[in-house]
Chain A
Amino acid sequence: MQSARWTKITAVLFSVYLVGMAGWAALRAPDAISTSERRPLATRPVLTWKDFLSGNFAEDFETYALDQFPLRDPLRSFKAVTQFYLLQRLDKQGIYLADGHVAKLEYPLNSSSVQNAAQKLEAVLARLNLPQDSAVYAAVIPDKNFFLAAANGYPALDYAEMQALFRTELASAHHIDLFDCLSLEDYYNGDPHWRQERLSSVVERLSLRMGFADRLSTDYTESLLGPFYGAYHGQAALPLPSESLHFLTSPLLTQATAYHFENHSTRPLYDLDKAAGLDAYDLFLSGASALVTIENPAASTDRELLLFRDSFGSSLAPLLLEAYAKITLIDLRYIHPDLLVEQIRTANADVLFLYSSLLLNNSLSLR
């Protein structure tokens, strides 16, 4: 039997905790967005009889209660620290820490997804009706797990099998191996993406295989923005240091602009406004966009490049611009191939399919 004093102390403390937290949750001004989770937060739903009867109000209210709870970010960190350090969990919803990096498990190999991607790309090629002199290339960008997972005891997909499968299924393309051009240091610590300033080996490999090495000569100046919190950084919810986002500039890249077909807007190649948004990696070509062209006014060639890509391509494309008169970047997650035929020219064009292993393993979004 506990003493009367302790009974009072615990009863008062529990009441203060419960009513205090409830009052705080009810009265605090709501936040519009969560920068760490890169998403808008739910607002308090309006109670209507119809929504109440359908159960929608209850569902929306719980989402609101979760999103707008006080100390949301510190509490997420509290959970992450408990899971990683107290309970020794090796990953938290797939997110894991290794060699100073945050990564997300990508496992196992989804062969049907790789086949699906390759078949869709073959179908695109058939629709484009390319001229005889067009050269078609394909390259897979390894995700960070290639360098981290197996080496640190995490489940890893079979990258060799993925590449072999992709090569077999996308037989119309000349395949370029980029795996040995990259290392873990070429990726951001808290983000899935590669670092633009460390892509010289990739550019060199592509230029040699695609035959544009003689059209590259520029030296770049490195600039940086910060602090940069990558996508995995927010998902990990751990108190990890921020990074700087690096980008390479040159007179050509400063002058060049990107034309976005979706909203018929012309933006700089490095979009500083976008970099200040939820995902700073949107600095490169303003982030996700279905169809973008960048032109080189000082081009020494009339060759063009059709770059079928995911977000990794946004940071690479500026580095290839010097070698082409125009680069058209196509993201098949956001545009149907039928619409492409009307929008793009294929004369004098090289084609490069450049996709990360993450996308190939999860290719349902490709149209």
Chain B
Amino acid sequence: MLFSSLTFLYWFLPSVLILYFLLPDRFKNFVLLAASLLFYAWGEPRFIVLMLVTILSAYVHGRLIEATRGRLAERLWLLSSITIALAPLLYFKYANFLIDNLSVLTGTNLPVLKLSLPIGISFYTFQALSYTVDVYRGRIQAQRKLHLLALYITFFPQLIAGPIVRYTDIETALSRRSHSLENFSSGFTRFSLGLAKKVLLANELGEFVQVFRSSGQKSVAFYWLYAVAFSLQIYLDFSGYSDMAIGLGRIFGFDFPENFRYPFEARSITEFWRRWHISLGSWFRDYVYIPLGGNRVSGSRLALNLLTVWTLTGLWHGAEWQFVLWGLFFGLLLLFEKLLPVTGIAAPLRHAGVLVLVLLSFVIFNAGSLPELWLDVRSLFGVTALPWLSAETLYYTRSYGAVLLLGAAASTSGPRRLYEYLQQKTSPIHLPELVRVLIVPALLLLVTAYLLDGAYNPFLYFRF
């Protein structure tokens, strides 16, 4: 089920809220667990078995690791847990990638498998992995209650598009949490704003991207606008989903970590990745980069570690060579920044440089194939026969100009700072609160209107 669907918004969510808040505390976790399983099973019931196996494996391995603490078996159980958790992900996500490349390498035509990727598998696998590794490291105690561990992994707000919540983030809240009108109100606002970012801005920008892709009159300017539009689309879509998850979590008494902090305001690539998909970056840092030695290694080993981590980060996003290149692109940039810090360059220049590199990265990310990637990058820099400008470019720039500007504004901290400023300046009359009371339902109605009218509403995370 998608958050940006009427089934979720007006059938699932109200029903869950009513049940959750009407039933006594001892039933609340069961309501959330049942709701989460239904949420997952709604579109693809057959894959729920896979998720249940992952949960059961994490539960049993957590207990076994704890029971064999200090012995060789402890390591073997950890290895076994990692193998069992990763096996479905490797099979469903990477088997055909491997087969395709083997075919190319051997000059044969190996048959590909008929596989569809289970929704959210990359997210819940990483959550399950972090749980058993943290038990092994002694950071957390293994959960005795299976339903609580199941709730941690399946909890519907973060199940299919993150953030990748660590067990430590919600360990206490799983068994003991408080609810308040303030949490409900601010959580609902956060959810609604996230939904509006996704439906009113990201989907509209997605239409622009589609228009660009099908255009027969491309130009260099059109390529740059496409780069801007797609970068904004993926940010608003993904951060919108994170906002929705964080808001929903807050309504139910959970405090999820932030996943985005205005990444387009970054002044270095290192800073960009401290602001973009924070939960994924910190996961790779804690469970791959640091175990490999982190920064405290020789220069060549550091380079190897960085490139390994970023190749894996690219592959996490999709089993295609363009994702590998995307990851390596960032790996090289980060390595470059470590070797030659950019602090000496004026801040506006650094900011502009980061924006150009990030736009380029998302052009790589969104290419359908390696030849398309090569064509896109060359076209972006005018190394093709394309004109600099075309009539279509001008038409669609005019048509989507307001959406592009709104999207750009929504990806900065400007709206939040304006809200805080108005809160201070108009505190006696509570202008921002008044506006919020009016705007949130109006936005929800507008979102509903957009969904009703058969607009473009993709789910970008199928391949993640």
Which A residues have a C-beta under 8 Å from some C-beta of B? 2-3, 6-11, 13-15, 17-19, 21-22, 25-26, 52-53, 55, 58-59, 61-62, 65-66, 69, 72, 75-76, 78-80, 82, 86-91, 108, 153-155, 237
Contact = CB atoms under 8 A, between A and B. Distances in A.
Nearest to B15: A22
Contacts of A14: 184-185, 188-189, 440-441
Contacts of B204: 87
Contacts of A3: 430, 433
Given A14-B188, A153-B395, A55 B44 contact: yes
B193 to A, nearest CB: 12
Contacts of B188: 10-11, 14, 18
B445 A78 contact: yes
Contacts of B17: 15, 18-19
Specify the main secondary structure of chain A where it touches its partner: helix
B7 A7 contact: no
Q: Which of the listed residues A17, A26, A86, A154 has the most CB atoms from chain B within 10 Å of its own CB? A: A17
Given A53-B46, A90-B398, 5 more contacts: A9-B437, A58-B1, A62-B6, A88-B398, A88-B399
Interface stretch (B23-31, B285-293, B446-454): B446-454
21 contacts: A2-B182, A3-B433, A10-B188, A13-B441, A14-B188, A14-B189, A17-B444, A18-B14, A55-B44, A62-B7, A69-B6, A69-B10, A75-B453, A76-B453, A78-B449, A79-B446, A90-B395, A90-B398, A155-B391, A155-B395, A237-B453
B220 to A, nearest CB: 19
Contacts of A22: 10-11, 14-15
A112 to B, nearest CB: 13
B57 interface: no
A2 B429 CA distance: 11
Nearest to B456: A93
Contacts of B46: 53
Q: Using C-beta atoms within 8 Å of the partner chain, give the interface range for chain B.
A: 35 or more
Contacts of A52: 45
B441 A17 contact: yes
A58 B433 contact: no
B449 A79 contact: yes
A9 B45 CA distance: 39
Interface stretch (B59-67, B96-104, B140-148, B400-408): B400-408
B5 interface: yes
A280 B297 CA distance: 78
Contacts of B1: 58
A61 B7 CA distance: 7
Contacts of A2: 182, 185, 430, 433
A58 B453 contact: no
Contacts of A8: 181
A2 B14 CA distance: 25
Given A58-B1, A58-B42, A89 B437 contact: no
Nearest to B191: A14
Interface of B: 1, 5-7, 10-11, 13-15, 17-18, 42-46, 181-182, 184-185, 188-189, 204, 216-217, 391-392, 395, 398-403, 406, 430, 433, 436-437, 440-441, 444-446, 448-455
Contacts of A76: 449, 452-453
Given A62-B7, A76-B452, A11 B185 contact: yes
Query: Sorted from nearest, which 7 A-B pairs have the closest CB atoms?
Result: A22-B14, A90-B399, A75-B449, A79-B449, A65-B6, A10-B185, A6-B433
Contacts of A82: 446, 449
Contact of A58 (B7, B18, B216, B448): B7
B427 to A, nearest CB: 9
B403 to A, nearest CB: 6
A3 to B, nearest CB: 7
B430 A66 contact: no
Contacts of B430: 2-3, 6
Contact of A53 (B45, B184, B189, B454): B45
A79 B452 contact: yes
A155 B452 contact: no
Contacts of B42: 58
A90 to B, nearest CB: 4
Contact of A62 (B5, B181, B217): B5
B407 to A, nearest CB: 11
Nearest to A53: B45
B118 to A, nearest CB: 13
Contacts of A58: 1, 7, 42-43
Contact of A75 (B44, B45, B445): B445
Contacts of A10: 185, 188-189, 433, 436-437, 440
